[in-house]
Amino acid sequence: MKQKPIDPGVDHLGAMRAFVRVVETGSFSAVAKETHVSTSTVARKVSAIEEALGVPLLHRTTHSVTLTEAGRIYHERAITLIADLDDTLRVVAELNAQPSGPLKLTAPVAFGRRYLAPLVAPFLEQHPTIQLDVRLTDNHNDLVAGGFDLDIHEGENYLDNLIVHRLSRNDSILCASPAYLDRSGRPSVPEDLAKLNCLRYVHPEGDPRWHFVNDAGRQSVLPVGNLTTDHSELLLEATCAGLGVAEFEIWLVRDLLASGQLEAVLPRYQMQSKLTGDFIYLAYLTNRRSSAKLRVLKDFLADRLRNVGELSEKEIQKIRG
């Protein structure tokens, strides 16, 4: 198609929104139903963009809608433009009003259950006009595609093009029940772990090895045992039951170490994990930086979760004996 000047009579923003929803739903009729217009009206909106640009954006068949190369580029830009516009409208609307409206947060499952669940009611009591949507998953969520305002995230992966606030260090420690260590022995160096039943957390992007650092340098051990899982709380239950030794982030086991239900293994070694990383972050998109409702949630969480993933010097001394 030959490119034409953009017709000033075309609602290009409305057509852009229709196009994005067609791509997301894979259906003109689905978009027509949700916007209460005819399917032909939605199709005309998309066709108007294609005519203005002079290139096809979609491959249409009876049963599917797929993007052309030009459509892929346009779709990526359109998502950003729509998000920027919506954020601008939100910021202006919030200038003279209390923070209100929908706010979507994502976090890892175990972290959310232990630390976010007790904070939901206090936050909403302070800000009753906010509608909080909390999604817990151990798989990374794309903030743009998922429509998320804020992400609580372990490690340094997926932080490109985001604004980040460090909540805490994210220290890890090797643990076992005292009863298991009484039966199997307490290792003094990483090599001794070969004699123990090592329980492993697995993740598609994780390293199967355990990495230890002390004054002598860095050592790596490939743990071997009879349990492997992608669920940290299942792993914790098995460890507390005396099945073997496992690695956990401090935030998950702090209370169990303090109560004596779990005991630190090789406490004079520092553990390192590329998957969980060095820090716990709050992360959000640059176009959310001026959002009043995001700011109050970010400040609320930062205040209550400060240092959640690290041990104090007093705790370290107690663990090391």
Residue carrying the six token digits 């830009």 = 77
Dig out the tokens for 155 from the structure: 């490690």
**What is the rounded distance in angstroms from the CA atom of residue 49 to the CA atom of residue 217?**
60
H runs (alpha helix) in 62-211: 69-94, 109-111, 117-126, 143-146, 178-184
The percentage of residues in the chain with a pLDDT greater than 90, rounded to a whole number, is 59
What are phi and psi for residue 71, nearest 5 degrees? -65, -40
Q: What is the pLDDT of residue 6?
A: 53
Percent of the chain at pLDDT above 70? Answer: 94
315 within a domain of the structure (yes/no): no
Instruction: With a cut of 80, say whether residue 204 has pLDDT above it.
Output: no
CATH of the domain at 160: 3.40.190.10
Say whether both 243 and 287 belong to one domain: no
- Token pair belonging to 226: 């009879």
CATH number for 68: 1.10.10.10
Count of domains in the chain? 3
- The yes-or-no verdict on residue 213 having pLDDT over 50 is yes
Distance of CA 260 to the CA centre of its chain: 31
Is there a domain that residue 5 lies in?
A: no
Over residues 161-171, the mean pLDDT reads 91
Res. 80: pLDDT tops 90:
no
Q: Compute the half-sphere exposure of residue 252: CA atoms within 13 Å on the CB side of its CA.
A: 27
Would the pTM count as exceeding 0.75?
Answer: no
Q: What is the pLDDT of residue 1?
A: 45
Q: Does 59 fall in a domain? A: yes
- In the block, residue with structure tokens 């060095």: 278
Interatomic CA distance for residues 15 and 49, integer angstroms: 7
Instruction: Give just the sign of the alpha carbon dihedral 126, 127, 129, 135.
Output: negative
Q: Which of 86-90, 109-113, 241-245, 254-258 has the lowest mean pLDDT?
A: 86-90
Rounded mean pLDDT of 26-33?
90
Residue of higher predicted confidence among 20 and 146: 20
DSSP-derived letter for residue 156 is S
> Tell me, what's the pLDDT at 254?
92
Report, as an integer, the average pLDDT of 133-144: 85
Regarding whether 249 and 133 lie in a shared domain, the answer is: no
Instruction: Tell me the C-alpha distance between 137 and 230, whole Å.
Output: 12
Residue 8 reports pLDDT greater than 60:
no
What is the H or E stretch that residue 286 is in? none
N-to-C CA span, the chain: 76
Give the lowest-confidence range in 114-118, 194-198, 261-265, 268-272: 268-272
Distance CA 50, CA 122 (A): 49
Instruction: Give the domain extent around 138.
Output: 99-169+277-304
